[in-house]
Amino acid sequence: MSMLTDLLASLFGMALLNGEKTFWLPEQASTAAKNVDWIFMFIYWLSTFFFVLIVGLTILFVIRYRARPGHKEQPSPSHSTLLEVTWSVIPSILLFFIFYYGYKGFMDLVVPPSNSYEIGVTAQRWSWNFTYPDGYVSENLHVPVDRPIRLVMTSEDVIHSFFVPAFRVKRDIVPGRYNVTWFEATKPGSYQIFCAEYCGTGHSDMLAQVIVHDTGEFDRWLEESSGFLDKLAPAEAGELLYKQRGCKQCHTLDGTIKIGPSFKDSYGIDHVLTDGSTVLAEENYYRQSMLDPQSQIVAGFDPVMPTYKGRLKDKEVTAIIAFIKSLSPYGAVEAETETPTESEAQPETDSATDDLD
């Protein structure tokens, strides 16, 4: 197959052989991409042929038979079964080929090899969580190169869709069900993940990266990242969780209002809820807001937060609370041993993960 693929690829799109970005298609970075692309280019040239045929003849006829002094329509037959059959059958045969290769390519896209490395995907408005076999969760997808990756995906709220253009992979993520897709990355690097199924306000911000590691590096990265809860101070671990688990999609650190209340100066003050009551923001309030978000909605906000019950361990909840406390003057006094964190993103913790790449 691969020889045929290469041959066809070279026939239908010269640039595709080396996998670079072309006029029509993005860079190829998975085993599937080459396969999809030659079908794309095959249909492309076939369509171009028919388009040139139809439009070319149209233009030709308009020029030759345009109404002008001295020109009159000439009699010609108004039906021809032979012609009709010809222009029905020839396209039919071509369509059959497109259908056949389209289906074949699709089966390659959806049936994961049995030795795949499995990663769990949880989509929620408007972030991604990728769960590795050892339980570590990250916000970007890290995978080893040259190894089939099987993604088992589900959604916490509405339908999303996992889309990596460079891999030519897309699969809807439906709540209440697991959808599976797979790919095998061929080049180390970083590739864009989009959410392709409309999911509301932050749909276009529901982005992430696939980071493809060299084979050995991936294992090292996973091992080092997984222990962060034990290695880092609670507030720092909390900040990491804040970025990785989707908190930051809705809760800012600088006091601006997004989908949910900002975490800045949130701890230790009274919040007014939608039912008019007030609640003092202390540890139990945050814990409950994570595990049962609908129970206490701060006035002025919509009840859109999904529950984190079962998705955050106790230790993680504690770490996030520690992080929120560190952002408030009330919290900082209490937890004076911790360094108060600045509102802007922390390069240290960012690099804590990225350095391990």
Partner 1 sequence: MARKYSQGTSGHAEHPSWLQHHFDTAEQQFAAGKMGMWLFLATEVLLFAGLFCAYTVYRSNHPEIFVYAHQFLDPNMGALNTCVLLFSSLTVAWAVRASQLGQQRLTMALLAITILCGFGFMSIKYIEYSHKWKHGLLWGTRYVPEQHVETGGHGEPPEIEVVHQDAGEVEHGIDGTAVVVHEEANLTPGQIIIPEDERTKLATAAIGPLGLAPEVSKDEVAGEHAEVAPDNVHIFFGIYFGMTGLHGIHVLAGMIMLTWLLIRTARGHFSPEYFTPIDLGALYWHLVDLIWIFLFPLLYLIS
Partner 2 sequence: MNGSDSTTTADSAAGYSSAQASSDNYLTHGKGIMSWLGTLDHKRIGVMYLGCILFSFFLGGIFALLIRTELLTPGKTIVDADQYNQLFTLHGAVMIFLFLIPGIPAALGNFALPLMLGAKDVAFPRLNLMSWYLWVIGAIFAVASIVMGGADTGWTFYTPYSTSTDTAVISMVTGAFILGFSSIFTGLNFLVTIHRLRPPGMTWFKMPLFLWGIYGTAVMQVLATPVLGITLLLLIVERTLGFGIFDPALGGDPVLFQHFFWFYSHPAVYIMVLPAMAIMSEIFSVFSRKHIFGYKFIAFSSIALAILSFLVWGHHMFTSGQSALANFVFSALTFSVSIPTAIKMFNWLATMYKGNIHLDTPMIYALTFMFTFGIGGLTGLFLGALATDIHLHDTYFIVAHFHYTMFGGTVIAFLAALHYWWPKMFGKMYDEKLGRIAAGLVFIGFNTTFFTQFIMGSQGMPRRYYHYLDEFTIYHQISTAGSYLMAIAFFLMLYYLVKSLVSGKPAPANPWGGNTLEWHMTSPPPYYNFKEAPHVGDPYDFSDLEWDEKTGGYVSKSGRGAS
Site for partner 1 in 289-328 (CB under 8 A): 291-292, 306-307, 309-314
Decide which of partner 2, partner 1, none touches 192; Cβ closer than 5 to 8 Å per partner kind: partner 2
User: In this chain, which of 118, 150, 175, 264 binds partner 2, going by CB under 8 A?
Assistant: 175
Contact between 36 and partner 2 per CB under 8 A: yes
Contact between 71 and partner 2 per CB under 8 A: yes
Decide which of partner 1, partner 2, none touches 9; Cβ closer than 5 to 8 Å per partner kind: none
Q: How far from the centroid of its chain's Cα atoms is residue 84's Cα?
A: 46
- Comparison of 156 and 197: residue with beta carbon closer to partner 1: 156
All residues at 6 or more sequence positions from 25 whose CB lies less than 8 Å from its CB, including other chains: 13, 16, 37, 40
Contact between 4 and partner 2 per CB under 8 A: no
Write down the least CB distance from residue 190 to partner 2, Å.
13
Site string for partner 1, 84-123 (x = CB under 8 A): ------------------------------------x-x-
* Region binding partner 1 by CB under 8 A among candidate stretches 18-26, 36-44, 172-180, 268-276: 172-180
Decide which of partner 1, partner 2, none touches 84; Cβ closer than 5 to 8 Å per partner kind: partner 2
Nearest CA to 309 out of 293, 287, 291, 285 is that of 291
All residues at 6 or more sequence positions from 187 whose CB lies less than 8 Å from its CB, including other chains: 19, 29, 145, 212
Give the span between the Cα atoms of 164 and 343, in whole angstroms. Answer: 31
Give the span between the Cα atoms of 197 and 130, in whole angstroms. Answer: 18
Cβ–Cβ < 8 Å for 197, 172: yes
Phi/psi of residue 143, nearest 5 degrees: -140, 155
Own/partner long-range contacts of 285-289 (Cβ < 8 Å, ≥24 apart)? 286/317, 286/320, 286/321, 286/324, 287/317, 287/321
Contact between 152 and partner 1 per CB under 8 A: yes
Contact between 156 and partner 1 per CB under 8 A: yes
Contact between 230 and partner 1 per CB under 8 A: no
**CA-only gyration radius of the chain, Å:** 28
Write down the least CB distance from residue 345 to partner 2, Å.
18
Contact between 16 and partner 2 per CB under 8 A: no
Give the span between the Cα atoms of 225 and 246, in whole angstroms. Answer: 18
Contact between 227 and partner 1 per CB under 8 A: no
- Comparison of 311 and 325: residue with beta carbon closer to partner 1: 311
Using alpha carbons, list the distances in angstroms from residue 118 to 115, 130, 166, 183. 9, 10, 20, 11
Q: Where in 184-213 is the site for partner 2 (CB under 8 A)?
A: 192, 194-205
Give the span between the Cα atoms of 12 and 28, in whole angstroms. Answer: 15
Write down the least CB distance from residue 209 to partner 2, Å.
12
Write down the least CB distance from residue 139 to partner 1, Å.
15
Contact between 93 and partner 2 per CB under 8 A: no
Cβ–Cβ < 8 Å for 245, 137: yes
| Positions that interact with partner 1 (CB under 8 A) | 120, 122, 131, 135, 152, 154, 156, 176-180, 291-292, 306-307, 309-314
